[in-house]
């Protein structure tokens, strides 16, 4: 590799060296605060390295990785979300007896896996990134180990992820057998029309990706894992993990021009409708806030699929902008759960939130803002994201998907309002237990996310223009 290539992949190198440095530090001295500082430093330097990488002449690094503006953009928001998660995790982990330092090492490994996924241009690099992410998540999900439910969730994710990877590998084998290449751009040059082997391979790959994105009917693991995993890990799974895979899907969905293949298009339409409907319907039946947000995240992946199917420049902008707003909103919602959680259990039942406004008015207002954003209410980031999703569906003339999107969004409003009503229930009806105190670091992270939530919702033009520039190379 040339020096220019090394400069281009510097964000990945920073993450890798940071992981090694923290591992070596932990062998000498265990210090929770120092580990957090090194983790934040690594993530901050990797974000700064993105600007250095963007100025390098190299874009394609061998046949495995591509470092265009689109990939760098998603690396940036993934690293940024991980930085917020780690700050939130500090207060969450401080009151627990678990060994804390390895948590941050695993989180950096997961970020590295996500970064490799969004930059992948070859099935080999895609699998390397996916496995690096999955192996880290196996451990992070079961990290607390204080109750059987934590171990159970880790095993469920392990079995499900292993099965999905088997489908992905078999699909890649079918595609390679017919096309003779594992480079995504090479596969895009082959016609899928009247080609059963390629179509079968692509269907198997979709099954594997469907598990990672928790699309219906590959969603059964989601609620149990979200409920049992530590709240900061749940935030990471719901944002960075899904965002990385969807970023890759958007890139190569456009590359093969999937709208030209009726079989593939119909399959995604059915999955999108089922994902929106069942995600919202199942959320209506829950009394656990983490499970409500789990099913909500399923529905949001369905919303993204509708824009993906629309195709064109507006669809690419809509998907990317929606992922950005979804990251901000979901990190904030799970961040509130994180800072309120106690040493022995997470603050997750709907009854836990009754009367929260009387005990902590500021935090209640912040939480309400994030919930309204998830519902797509005006003056929030979620409204801007959903507006562009609607616009992409109209532009693509996907009237059936648009109708289901509108109906399911109305259903979603109901369960978000259930949580808000519980928060503002009269004090005398609420439990007398005081709300847990939250750390300064957690408050800073939530404040930062709230500013972005309102900034995107009130003055979205800079973000929309920036997203247009980032996706310009896709179409």
For the ranges 53-67, 110-124, 139-153, 197-211, the maximum mean pLDDT occurs at 110-124
Q: Is pLDDT at 150 greater than 80 in this prediction?
A: yes
Question: If you average pLDDT over residues 175-203, what whole number do you get?
Answer: 78
Q: List the single range of 65-69, 166-170, 253-257 with lowest mean pLDDT.
A: 253-257
Residue scoring higher pLDDT (439 or 101): 101
Instruction: Produce one character per residue of 32-44: b if its CB has 16 or more CB atoms within 10 Å, e if not.
Output: eeebbebbbebbe
- CA angle at residue 5 from 316 to 243, to 5 degrees? 30
Q: Is pLDDT at 19 greater than 90 in this prediction?
A: yes
| Model confidence, pTM | 0.92
Residue scoring higher pLDDT (186 or 430): 186
pLDDT category of residue 431 using cuts at 50, 70 and 90: very low
Q: Is pLDDT at 153 greater than 90 in this prediction?
A: no
What confidence score (pLDDT) does residue 220 get?
Answer: 83
Q: List the single range of 77-91, 189-203, 351-365, 401-415 with lowest mean pLDDT.
A: 189-203
Per-domain boundaries in the chain: 257-475
pLDDT category of residue 184 using cuts at 50, 70 and 90: confident
Average predicted confidence (pLDDT) for the chain = 87
Question: If you average pLDDT over residues 432-449, what whole number do you get?
Answer: 71
Q: Is pLDDT at 429 greater than 70 in this prediction?
A: no
Q: List the single range of 146-155, 159-168, 188-197 with lowest mean pLDDT.
A: 188-197
pLDDT category of residue 121 using cuts at 50, 70 and 90: confident
Q: Is pLDDT at 452 greater than 70 in this prediction?
A: yes
Give the C-alpha separation, 349 to 265, whole Å.
Answer: 39
What confidence score (pLDDT) does residue 271 get?
Answer: 93
What confidence score (pLDDT) does residue 191 get?
Answer: 65
pLDDT category of residue 430 using cuts at 50, 70 and 90: very low
Question: If you average pLDDT over residues 350-379, what whole number do you get?
Answer: 88
Q: Is pLDDT at 236 greater than 90 in this prediction?
A: yes
Q: Is pLDDT at 200 greater than 50 in this prediction?
A: yes
């Amino acid at each position: 590799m040339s020096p220019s290539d090394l400069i281009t992949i510097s964000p990945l190198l920073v993450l890798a060296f940071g992981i090694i440095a923290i591992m070596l530090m932990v062998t000498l001295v265990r210090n929770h605060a120092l580990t957090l500082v090194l983790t934040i430093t690594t993530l901050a330097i990797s974000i700064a390295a993105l600007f250095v990488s963007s100025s390098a002449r190299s874009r394609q690094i061998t046949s495995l990785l591509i470092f265009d503006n689109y990939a760098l953009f998603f690396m940036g928001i993934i690293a940024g979300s991980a930085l917020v998660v780690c700050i939130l995790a500090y207060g969450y982990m401080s009151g627990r007896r678990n060994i804390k330092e390895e948590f941050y090492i695993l989180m950096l490994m997961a970020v590295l896996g996500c970064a490799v996924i969004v930059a992948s241009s070859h099935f080999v690099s895609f699998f390397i990134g996916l496995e690096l992410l999955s192996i880290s998540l196996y451990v992070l999900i079961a990290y607390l180990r204080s109750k059987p439910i934590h171990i159970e969730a880790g095993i469920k994710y392990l079995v499900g992820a292993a099965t999905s990877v088997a489908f992905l590998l078999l699909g890649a084998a079918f595609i390679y057998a017919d096309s003779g290449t594992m480079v995504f751009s090479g596969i895009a040059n082959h016609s899928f029309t009247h080609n059963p082997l390629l179509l079968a391979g692509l269907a198997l790959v979709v099954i594997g990706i469907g598990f990672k994105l928790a699309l219906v009917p590959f969603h059964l693991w989601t609620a149990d894992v979200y409920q049992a995993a530590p709240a900061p890990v749940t935030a990471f799974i719901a944002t960075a993990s899904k965002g990385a895979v969807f970023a890759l899907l958007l890139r190569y969905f456009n590359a093969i021009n999937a709208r030209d293949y009726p079989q593939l298009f119909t399959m995604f339409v059915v999955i999108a409708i089922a994902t929106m409907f069942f995600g919202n319907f199942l959320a209506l039946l829950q009394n656990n806030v983490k499970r409500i947000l789990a099913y909500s995240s399923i529905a949001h992946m369905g919303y993204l699929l509708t824009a993906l199917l629309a195709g064109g420049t507006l669809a690419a902008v809509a998907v990317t902008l929606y992922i950005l707003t979804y990251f901000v909103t979901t990190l904030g919602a799970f961040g509130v759960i994180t800072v309120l959680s106690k040493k022995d259990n997470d603050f997750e039942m709907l009854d836990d939130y009754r009367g929260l406004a009387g005990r902590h008015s500021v935090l209640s207002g912040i939480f309400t803002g994030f919930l309204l954003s998830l519902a797509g209410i005006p003056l929030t980031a979620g409204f801007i994201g959903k507006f562009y999703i609607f616009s992409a569906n109209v532009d693509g003339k996907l009237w059936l998907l648009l109708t289901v999107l509108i109906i399911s969004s109305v259903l979603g409003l109901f369960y978000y309002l259930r949580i808000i009503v519980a928060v503002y229930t009269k004090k005398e009806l609420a439990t007398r237990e005081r709300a847990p105190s939250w750390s300064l670091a957690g408050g800073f992270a939530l404040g930062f996310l709230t500013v972005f939530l309102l900034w995107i919702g009130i003055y979205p033009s800079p973000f929309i223009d920036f997203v247009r520039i980032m996706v310009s190379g896709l179409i």
